[in-house]
Amino acid sequence: GQPVRLSDYRVPDYLVDAVALDISLDRTATRVRSTLRLRPNPEGVAGAPLDLDGDELVATALRLDGAALDLALATPDRLTIAAPPAGPFVLEVETVIDPTANTKLMGLYRSGSAYCTQCEAEGFRRITYYLDRPDVLSVFTTRIEAERDDAPVLLGNGNPVEAGAVEGTGRHYAVWHDPHPKPSYLFAVVSGRLDALRGEFTTSEGRRVALAIWVEPGKVGQAGYALDALKRSMRWDEDAFGRAYDLDVFNVVAVSDFNMGAMENKGLNVFNDKYVLASPELATDADYAGIETVIAHEYFHNWTGNRITCRDWFQLSLKEGLTVFRDQEFSADQRSRPVKRIADVRVLRARQFAEDGGPMAHSVRPDSYSEINNFYTATIYEKGAEIIRMVRTLVGPDAFARGLQHYFDRFDGTAATVEDFLGCFAEASGRDLAPFFRWYVQAGTPRVTARTHHDAATRTLTLDLAQDTAPTPGQGEKLPFVVPLRFGLVLPDGAEQPVRTGEDDGLSDAELANDTIELATATRRIRFEDVEPGTIPSLLRDFSAPVRLVTDATDADLLTLMTHDTDAFNRWDAAQTVLSRLIIARVRDGGGDPEALRTVFAAVVRTGRHDPAFAAQVLALPSEGELAREIGRDVDPDAVHAAREAVRGAVGRMLAAEFRAVIAEGAAAGPYAPDAAGAGRRAFRNAALSLLAAGDPALGAAQARAQFDGADNMTDRVAALAVLSLIPGEAREAAFAAFYERHAAEPLVIDKWFALQASIPERSTVDRVRRLLGHPAFTLGVPNRVYALLGAFGANPTEFNRPDGAGYDLVADAVVTLDGRNPQVAARLLGAFRSWRLLEPGRRALAEAALKRIAAGPDLSADVREITSRSLG
Ligand code: DPP
Ligand code: ZN
């Protein structure tokens, strides 16, 4: 269809005061009766037609104020009433929908033996005709009816009101009432045969809330961590943000068929089961951390998203960026703050920087879209969170807290905009945030360059900063961003050099007080006074802005920062930069010897004894994708892979004795617990194992097989399998077979098995993946299977980007097949192509041809069409 533009926003012409839904569930013919109390919006166009959204709907009855209307007013995607009454009126609509036939997993569908819904962004219109836009808020009452045997559990939004049998039938019903006005995208119904793990929480306001985590029968034993994470989230939001829960029940349901991660429906969160189910034997430390984050994220939406929602979908980051910021802060408080920051920046660089540097680049507040489902992106989510972090840095923690409080007070119960949000911080801080607003409307990752010059005679250090942002599609010219650079000056022995600047080229008092340089112009010179020779600026501490920093620091400077910087993030980042330079030197001319790193990396391994999680992050080399972006053009992924593996091997041999000691010590670590300390120890030991194996595959394979056989938890078992997966031969195949044998009954574990095989950097992987597409455990019908096998393959740098194009063809074929069934999942898979323009000409041509082949297909969904045309555009 036509693109939707922000500039076309108009308030709705009608408001919905109340919605009463009566949903009679049936596997193939569910009847939905909707009663809408409507009235003209005094701010809208008087006498305008009433235009309700639909999507593949069939109307079976229509009544206006009790009088039947012609069914011809309704088409599958629209119900139009040309001249509705000038005052309040009641519209009754009956539709019949088929949940079993719903393979798009939007609207009402079947997952396993349950009925469930997904309405964000535009799924409610697949259930009934409605003003399906986020700025129409209404009070919903839902009656759900179903066969008691088929669906003993009936869940809706809000609080339960009544329940009972339907006389003379095998059916029963439940009525739910949600007193909080909400947009339709937050509507949900779940019904089926489900078991609950129950809990209770008393809010700071004294409200007793009944909690339940609903799972497939037999899986209650895997819901404990999710319930615990939920309680911790509820307490934390009260303590950190003063936000208490506002209903008597809070239900979380895990379903196996789900397009995204999870959904924050009011009082009834629906989750992809991979973000709920966990046990030490089946889930890794990373899975546990993911559950904690996503449970928190959806819960936090209750205030940032539900109580205050978005005026239109262009404001999506208003709720998503803010809620990611909140869940990141939560996880940082629950675990190690610096390690969490490093992990978040890794994700940002890997996904968001890639997006911002490619054909899909868009601003955090986009100004047009064809299919909103394509905009649930790393830019909206992760970069959106970075913007909020920068606001906090710029206005300071106190004004930030006041501004947020003001936002909650002022916009509660409304549908707000990004301008509304930022206005609260301008007011709280007295600061003009208009220049800062560019972060919302300009796409692209700014590059900040820093050049230093020390003058021994005057003991001054001159820092020359410059920023520039490459053009992105549709945005040729970029104005300077307001870039907060947290910084310090590090003396060669690691002490902090006190910061003093003079009259000319100095820092403001606020900048000095915050240890933050505000770079708001294209260039800026800063002169530091009374500086010891050899002092090294440590810039962008804690990654204070989502920019690419390029400095003139020498390798020796970086090793000093890596050893001494008081900022843990920059200690890690200095190591990443050194490693990245080394690998890229190898790609360019075969040079780059890690020997110079021996002392410093040996020291990192020693610090691993007291901060293993941090050491593990240092030992994880920059990814091949990051290296490719650093190289920037004409990338040969095979050369990048070979250079990175060579460096991994050299590090593994250089520190073999140290790594063997780490592995031996870790083996005696005691029974598994999914806490941060234990996870850190395992991450460190498994990083050591991976590097040891890179340096000595025979020894690595033996160690890995021993760990694989002896592990008492999934983290260690799958880490060992990952190491084995990189070493061709019988041992690898035997380990894969044993893993399958052991876990065949657990689809989420088999997903790990699919993903590891799809990630093998060998030419035979394409055939292996084609074979696995026919494996009985695989189906294109379940998004998790698709993401595990095909998503992982699309992220395999060498095999997706095979020089003969067979990798592109494999993913392109899958996209075409999937598009007819589930366009959202098909469009997500296309993300594999996001960096195709960085490649050397041969691969670039093949990737382009594959994209063109997809684009030429008949009956393309809006989802896939938008991504292919942007990618090719
Ligand atoms: N609104 C959802 C979330 O991000 C999207 N599935 O939590
Ligand atoms: Zn969200």
Ligand 1 atom, smallest distance to 319 CA: 1
Say what the pLDDT of residue 523 is: 98
Task: Please give the Cα distance from 273 to 277 (Å, whole number).
Answer: 6
Distance 127 CA to ligand 1 centre (A): 19
pLDDT band at residue 666, thresholds of 50, 70 and 90?
A: confident
Which residues contact residue 31 at a Cβ distance below 8 angstroms, ignoring those fewer than 6 apart?
23, 24, 60, 94, 95, 96
Residue recorded with tokens 């800062």: 436
pLDDT band at residue 592, thresholds of 50, 70 and 90?
A: confident
pLDDT band at residue 207, thresholds of 50, 70 and 90?
A: very high
Task: Please give the Cα distance from 169 to 155 (Å, whole number).
Answer: 20
Ligand 1 atom, smallest distance to 259 CA: 6
First to last CA, the chain: 17
pLDDT at 593 > cutoff 90: no
Tell whether domain 547-695 is in CATH 2.160.20.60.
no
Mean pLDDT of 306-325: 99
pLDDT band at residue 485, thresholds of 50, 70 and 90?
A: very high
Say what the pLDDT of residue 601 is: 92
* Atom 7 of ligand 1, residue of closest alpha carbon: 263
Mean pLDDT of the chain: 97
Q: Residues enclosing ligand 1, CB less than 6 A?
A: 120, 260, 262-264, 297-298, 301, 320, 376
Mean pLDDT of 666-683: 89
Say what the pLDDT of residue 670 is: 80
* Atom 3 of ligand 1, residue of closest alpha carbon: 263
Look up the ipTM and state it. Answer: 0.98
Tell me the per-residue pLDDT of 379-398, one tens digit each, with 9 for 90 and over.
999 999 999 999 999 999 99
Say what the pLDDT of residue 373 is: 97
Which ligand is nearest to the Cα of residue 186, counting in written order? 1
Contact assessment for residue 355 and residue 361, using Cβ atoms and an 8 Å cutoff: yes
- Rounded to 5°, angle at Cα 583 from 580 and 587: 130
CATH topology identical between 447-545 and 744-873? no
Pocket test for ligand 1, best of 117, 263, 315, 322 (most atoms within 8 A of CB): 263
Sequence-ordered alpha helix ranges (H) in 696-786: 697-710, 714-725, 730-743, 747-758, 765-773, 783-786
* Atom 5 of ligand 1, residue of closest alpha carbon: 263
Ligand 1 atom, smallest distance to 297 CA: 7
The class (CATH top level) of 744-873 is mainly alpha
Tell me the per-residue pLDDT of 50-59, one tens digit each, with 9 for 90 and over.
999 999 999 9
* Atom 1 of ligand 1, residue of closest alpha carbon: 263
**Residue type at 460?**
T
Say what the pLDDT of residue 590 is: 87
Distance 264 CA to ligand 2 centre (A): 7
Strands, sheet with 548-551, edge to edge from the N-terminal-most edge strand? 523-528, 460-468, 447-455, 548-551
Element (H, E) at 691: helix 676-695
Say what the pLDDT of residue 668 is: 66
Minimum mean pLDDT range among 463-467, 592-596, 775-779, 794-798: 592-596
Pocket test for ligand 1, best of 255, 276, 301 (most atoms within 8 A of CB): 301
Which ligand is nearest to the Cα of residue 326, counting in written order? 2
The fraction of the chain above a pLDDT of 90, given in percent, is 97
Contact assessment for residue 793 and residue 758, using Cβ atoms and an 8 Å cutoff: yes
Closest by CA position to 561, among listed 545, 583, 544, 578:
578
Task: Please give the Cα distance from 272 to 32 (Å, whole number).
Answer: 25
Which ligand is nearest to the Cα of residue 258, counting in written order? 1
**What is the model's pTM?**
0.99
Count the Cβ atoms, other than its own, within 10 Å of residue 10.
10
Which ligand is nearest to the Cα of residue 319, counting in written order? 2
Which residues contact residue 82 at a Cβ distance below 8 angstroms, ignoring those fewer than 6 apart?
49
Distance of CA 764 to the CA centre of its chain: 31
pLDDT band at residue 677, thresholds of 50, 70 and 90?
A: very high
The residues spanned by each domain of the chain are: 4-193, 310-441, 447-545, 547-695, 744-873
Burial of residue 737 (number of CB atoms within 10 Å: 0-12, 13-18, 19+): exposed
Distance 408 CA to ligand 1 centre (A): 20
Ligand 1 atom, smallest distance to 260 CA: 6
Task: Please give the Cα distance from 21 to 32 (Å, whole number).
Answer: 7
Say what the pLDDT of residue 815 is: 98
Tell me the per-residue pLDDT of 226-263, one tens digit each, with 9 for 90 and over.
999 999 999 999 999 999 999 999 999 999 999 999 99
Mean pLDDT of 323-347: 98
Distance 301 CA to ligand 2 centre (A): 7
Task: Please give the Cα distance from 186 to 123 (Å, whole number).
Answer: 10
Tell me the per-residue pLDDT of 509-564, one tens digit each, with 9 for 90 and over.
999 999 999 999 999 999 999 999 999 999 999 999 999 999 999 999 999 999 99
We find that the CATH architecture of domain 4-193 is: Sandwich (2.60)
Burial of residue 563 (number of CB atoms within 10 Å: 0-12, 13-18, 19+): middle
pLDDT at 613 > cutoff 80: yes
Active-site residue list: 298
Distance 316 CA to ligand 2 centre (A): 9
pLDDT band at residue 596, thresholds of 50, 70 and 90?
A: confident
Helix (H, G, I), strand (E, B), or coil: what is residue 158?
A: coil
Distance 531 CA to ligand 1 centre (A): 49
Pocket test for ligand 1, best of 120, 299, 306, 326 (most atoms within 8 A of CB): 120
pLDDT at 502 > cutoff 90: no
CATH superfamily of 310-441: Neutral Protease Domain 2 (1.10.390.10)
Distance 360 CA to ligand 1 centre (A): 20
Domain 447-545 fold is: Immunoglobulin-like (2.60.40)
- Rounded to 5°, angle at Cα 593 from 587 and 599: 140
pLDDT at 851 > cutoff 70: yes
Pocket test for ligand 1, best of 298, 300, 325, 824 (most atoms within 8 A of CB): 298
